[in-house]
Amino acid sequence: MKTSYLLGISVIALGSKVFAAQPTDINYCAKGKTALGTPYSTYTVRCSDGKKREITAWDNRKKWCVNTSTNCTSDQLKTAKQACSK
């Protein structure tokens, strides 16, 4: 009984990762500058769960971040996937 219970919990935990929201659309929103004058661009990511999330592009779209955090990658789609998984 305990084994099947633990197996069921494991399947649910793994299943939640498999069915995480995915980006369906990425749209440019606006340009901005930090207080120090560093330029960036803001994009809205529409996710398969119906929610919208924000990502930002830095260094002429060479660096992509979820919001303005330090959680950044060099790939727009990878960053959009990270935003949707939150």
Note the pLDDT tens digit of each residue in 19-75: 689 999 999 999 999 999 999 999 999 999 999 999 999 999 999 999 877 779 999
Q: Where are the domains of the chain?
A: 21-85
Binned at pLDDT 50, 70 and 90, residue 6 comes out as very low
Count the alpha carbons within 13 Å of 61 in the hemisphere toward its beta carbon. 6
Residue 8 pLDDT exceeds 90: no
Q: How many other CB atoms are there within 10 angstroms of residue 21's CB atom?
A: 18
